[in-house]
Amino acid sequence: MAETSFDLIVVGGGPGGYVAAIRAGQLGMKAAVVEREHLGGICLNWGCIPTKVLLRSSELFHLLPRLEEFGISVTGIKFDLAKIVARSRKIADLHSKGVAALLKKNKVAHIDGHGALAGPGKVKVTKDGKDVGILSAKHIILATGARARTLPGLEPDGKLVWTYKEAMVPATLPKSLLVIGSGAIGVEFASFYRSLGANVTVVEVLDRVLPVEDADISALAQKAFQKQGMKVLTGAAVKSLKKGANSVTATVEQGGKSQEIAAERVILAVGIVGNVEKIGLEGTKVKVEKTHVVVDEWLRTGEAGVYAIGDLVGPPWLAHKASHEGVICVEKIAGLPDVHPLDVTKIPGCTYCEPQVASIGLTEAAAKAKGHEVRVGKFPYLGNAKATVLGDREGLVKTVFDAKTGELLGAHMIGAEVTELIQGFSIARTLESTEAELMHTVFPHPTLSETVHEAVLAAYGRALHY
């Protein structure tokens, strides 16, 4: 290492870490990123990006049999799983190299190795068990991310029981698949494998799939999954897994009854745990609760000069949340005026299953629980001309407003391209828009975005097309 002294050191090069370092570089700080594996972190290499590549392939394969509806005849439809996986890995690698270029452009040092706190203002770097050196900086940001949670008796082995990593690089398509957990990761993989022809069973311990979503959206998602041929078990728990030569038999309890489900492979998708081990927290004032580092509104830990962002800290555990935290943290360190703490109710969440799901803010139930008197608007895709043009008429946009003030409390969507449409509500929440501004906004026709307008109008009994 030519340089060992910096203004800011970031431990972890994921979407929170590298963005924080780039922002520091833009502000004239001498910054460094210590990354032990791949720039871009889990998101770019094993999460957000490669999974969406896989899902794009399965989406196209799912749509091809419907081409007759559009007057197009196609025969001999098939897929090449190896090529699908190879494209996913190629794109992940391309964007990881893009992060390296961005760091270089912003004069951020990239140090290859494992970083850990080594006393006040110090970071020790090791590689393959060997010491690389000691770095020093007044400010240190921990952005070490998280990993898949495991459950006792259900531990992944990489062969029959997979985490997201094995699920992204299958050598062959399993004929049957059991997915434990129906959050975003679980249902995305369920969609991918079901669209390619696998028999998929999803087991969720809570009473509905996608349990963090609004109840109306969850219900429509489950209906869509079942229509596609998925078997969905809610209020159910996998008690044990019995492994065979090339299959697994799960004992599942639901409603006081037990049943056995056999599948060639199992995907464990039951959440994450923070990477708090081996990063030098011992002997510091950094506090850890439930595997995640505790921070204040400015991402400061209990240890002076040490900060934490991204999946290492509190929910929601999303890449764009991590990036935003990185920017807030660095700008506060730099003393910029008008830096605002992150409001998690203004962070959109997207799930790229089939159909897509997206949301922001409070669900109807959460808004009522907080004491709001609400006005709710619902507009179905079947009332939208562009949805009919696309041949995707199954969907819903739901809005939740405060009945007294007109504040947009939340928005919840399911259907084609809702992961793109949600940004409209994100802007509205950031601008503290009320129903008045949204009603007066002119939306282009014919577009799916008109469902956003109509869902706002519907909350006030003014929907025009349904």
* Dihedral Cα 247, 248, 252, 258, nearest 10 deg: 80
Run of H or E residues at 204: strand 199-204
Candidates 337, 347, 355, 321; CA nearest to 422 is 347
Query: What does the alpha-carbon distance between residue 56 and residue 190 come to, in Å, rounded to a whole number?
Result: 14
β-pairing, 396-402 vs 408-414, is: antiparallel
Query: What does the alpha-carbon distance between residue 265 and residue 446 come to, in Å, rounded to a whole number?
Result: 43
What are 257's two structure tokens?
Answer: 């009854």
Candidates 9, 1, 49, 46; CA nearest to 25 is 9
The H-assigned helical ranges of 47-171 are 48-63, 81-105, 164-168
Q: Which residues, in sequence order, are bridge partners of residue 276?
A: none
What secondary structure letter does DSSP report for 395? -
Query: What does the alpha-carbon distance between residue 9 and residue 20 come to, in Å, rounded to a whole number?
Result: 10
Q: Treating both helix axes as pointing N-terminal to C-terminal, what angle do 17-26 and 319-334 enclose, rounded to 10 degrees?
A: 30
Query: What does the alpha-carbon distance between residue 415 and residue 384 come to, in Å, rounded to a whole number?
Result: 12
CB 344 within 8 A of CB 315: yes
CB 179 within 8 A of CB 154: no
**Which 3 state secondary structure label does DSSP give 70?**
helix
Task: Choose the catalytic residue: 95, 110, 445, 453.
Answer: 445
CB 254 within 8 A of CB 236: yes
Judge whether 465 counts as a catalytic residue: no
Buried b (16+ CB within 10 A) or exposed e, 226-246: eebebebbbebebeebeeeee
**Residue 394: CB partners within 8 Å, gap ≥ 6?**
220, 224, 355, 381, 382, 415
CB 267 within 8 A of CB 160: no
Amino acid making up residue 341: P
Q: Which residues are catalytic?
A: 445
